């Protein structure tokens, strides 16, 4: 399994950059994890969008879902000209339900699967796609939002999504061979953003607590230097820490 960073900025991109979007490939499945603004353009530089197996949207903030609107037009066109037959499966939170249903609406270009409708065990909802497993848990954010794990071949990619810190996170993240975690600010920003986001230092602390094998930081405020955020996380955890770079691919 491997993960390519399409966009790493939030809530707006640097010049020429993109917001949250990650391409996961493995187990015969190609999965787009979040579709922030700019990510769909990047995706097309790497692959034919017609070959996507599914899209997962962690929450309805534009830096995580704006390009879903572009993607829907692309899928609609491909189905019209016959270059893709199947609708695209979309895993999304049940809130705001109307917006996601409207997206799927005319023509059914998306086959929407609401995450809340997947079976729940110990706080985790699970499903399978080809050779990959998908796990979802509720995050602490300013609207319904999920963290995601993608599993396959004995590997576990954990994508933290957007979340404030809460006690169960370390359990949800346990066993990550790659932890992709937001570093939305420095420790000095915690008072301002800490109820709904993680700082770089918290990402490092949680990587240590959940015993992640490797930490890749992302979701950077565009005015901050990713390397400085990386250093703050690396100071509090023992595993290797990297700052996500757009276009780079990481083996999970
Ligand atoms: Zn958000």
20-71 per-position pLDDT tens digit: 999 999 999 999 999 999 999 999 999 999 999 999 999 999 999 999 999 9
Lookup: tokens for 80: 């019209």
d(CA 84, ligand 1 centre) in Å: 31
Q: For position 219, what pLDDT does the model report?
A: 98
Q: What distance in angstroms lies between residue 102's CA and the mean position of ligand 1's atoms?
A: 21
Tell me how far the alpha carbon of residue 48 lies from the centroid of ligand 1, in angstroms.
28
pLDDT higher than 80, residue 103: no
Q: What are phi and psi of 74, to 5 degrees?
A: -65, -45
What separation in Å is there between the alpha carbon of 25 and the centre of ligand 1? Answer: 24
**Residue 56, beta-bridge partner list:** 33, 91
Range of the domain at 162: 2-251
Residue holding tokens 């409207």? 102
Q: Is the dihedral of CA 165, 144, 252, 225 positive or negative?
A: negative
Q: What is the pLDDT at residue 106?
A: 67
Q: Quick one: tokens of 236?
A: 């509090």
Question: In angstroms, how far is CA 215 from the centroid of its own chain?
Answer: 14
CATH of the domain at 178: 3.60.15.10
DSSP conformation class of 107: G
Digit-coded pLDDT (tens) for 192-239: 999 999 999 999 999 999 999 999 999 999 999 999 999 999 999 999
Cα 89 to ligand 1 centroid, rounded to whole Å: 22
Tally of domains within the chain: 1
pLDDT recorded at residue 224 = 98
| 127 Cα: distance to centroid of ligand 1 (angstroms) | 23
pTM passes above 0.85: yes
Q: Which of 2, 74, 84 minimizes the C-alpha distance to 35?
A: 74
CA distances 5 to 43, 88, 147, Å, are: 9, 21, 17
Q: Where are the alpha helices (DSSP H) in 21-168?
A: 39-44, 62-65, 68-81, 97-104
Going by C-alpha positions, the residue among 180, 179, 200 that lies closest to residue 189 is 200
Cα(167) to centroid of ligand 1, in Å? 20
Question: Angle at Cα 203 formed by Cα 198 and Cα 205, nearest 5°?
Answer: 120
Rounded distance from Cα 192 to ligand 1 centre (Å): 14
81 CA distance to ligand 1 middle (Å): 35
pLDDT value for 227: 98
Where are the alpha helices (H) located in the chain, listed in sequence order? 39-44, 62-65, 68-81, 97-104, 169-173, 190-193, 200-209, 226-234
């Amino acid at each position: 399994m491997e993960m390519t960073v399409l966009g790493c900025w939030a809530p707006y991109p640097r010049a020429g950059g993109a917001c949250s979007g990650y391409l996961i490939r493995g187990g015969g499945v190609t999965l787009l994890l979040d579709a922030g603004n700019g990510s769909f353009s990047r995706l097309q530089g790497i692959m034919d969008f017609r070959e996507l197996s599914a899209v997962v949207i962690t929450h309805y903030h534009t830096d995580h879902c704006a390009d879903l609107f572009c993607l829907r037009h692309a899928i609609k066109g491909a189905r019209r000209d016959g270059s893709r037959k199947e609708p695209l499966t979309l895993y999304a939170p049940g809130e705001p339900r109307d917006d996601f249903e409207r997206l799927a609406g005319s023509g059914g270009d998306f086959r929407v699967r609401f995450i809340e409708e997947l079976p729940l065990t110990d706080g985790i909802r699970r499903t399978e796609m080809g050779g990959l497993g998908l796990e979802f848990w509720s995050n602490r954010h300013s609207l319904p939002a999920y963290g995601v794990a993608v599993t396959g071949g004995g590997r576990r990619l954990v994508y933290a999504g957007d979340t404030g810190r809460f006690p169960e996170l370390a359990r949800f993240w346990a066993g990550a061979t790659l932890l992709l975690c937001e570093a939305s600010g420095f420790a000095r920003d915690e008072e301002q953003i800490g109820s709904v986001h993680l700082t770089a230092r918290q990402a490092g602390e949680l990587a240590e607590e959940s015993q992640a094998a490797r930490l890749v930081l992302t979701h950077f405020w565009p005015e901050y230097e990713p390397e400085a955020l990386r250093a703050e996380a690396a100071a509090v955890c023992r595993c290797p820490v990297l700052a996500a770079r757009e276009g780079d691919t990481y083996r999970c």
